[in-house]
């Protein structure tokens, strides 16, 4: 970047009423996000990251549309419900944290409606 380009950018910033320099006083008053909006930080931290030791296997399976619709109808967590139904049919022991397949996952988040 040339000095002229830098000067032009700085002049544009100076003319913008919404742009301002953060002063030392502003930095002194700044607080961590966890203090200001703890619920947002907690929700962000709850998001699951990559598994350290994967316990499940990714597979591709074709299912009838009405079967998928049945499991998706209660909301998020449908793949877990399919897994639990398959465990039940295969007469496998439920996992320790397994729940009733008719109930949506307690960790499931409601999706916001599309559009505005």
Q: For residue range 65-112, what is the model confidence (pLDDT) as tens digits?
A: 999 999 999 999 999 999 999 999 999 998 875 445 455 555 555 556
Sign of CA dihedral 68, 74, 80, 83: negative
Give the global pTM.
0.41
SS3 annotation, 17-80: CCCCCCCHHHHHHCCCHHHHCHHHHHHHHHCCCCCCCCCCCCCCCCCCHHHHHHHHCCCCCHHH
pLDDT of residue 104: 57
Give the Cα separation of 74 and 70 in Å (integer).
8
pLDDT of residue 112: 63
Radius of gyration of the chain (CA): 25
Mean residue pLDDT across the chain? 84
């Amino acid at each position: 970047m040339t000095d002229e380009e830098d000067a032009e950018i700085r002049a544009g910033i100076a003319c913008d009423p919404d742009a301002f320099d953060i002063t030392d006083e502003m930095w002194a008053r700044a607080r961590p996000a966890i203090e200001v909006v703890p619920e947002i930080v907690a929700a962000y931290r709850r998001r699951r990251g990559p598994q350290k030791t994967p316990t499940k296997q990714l597979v591709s399976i074709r299912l009838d549309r009405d079967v998928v619709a049945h499991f998706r109808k209660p909301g998020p967590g449908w793949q877990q419900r399919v897994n639990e139904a398959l465990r039940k049919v295969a007469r496998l022991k439920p996992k320790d944290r397994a729940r009733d397949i008719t109930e949506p996952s307690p960790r499931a988040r409601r999706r916001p409606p599309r559009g505005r």
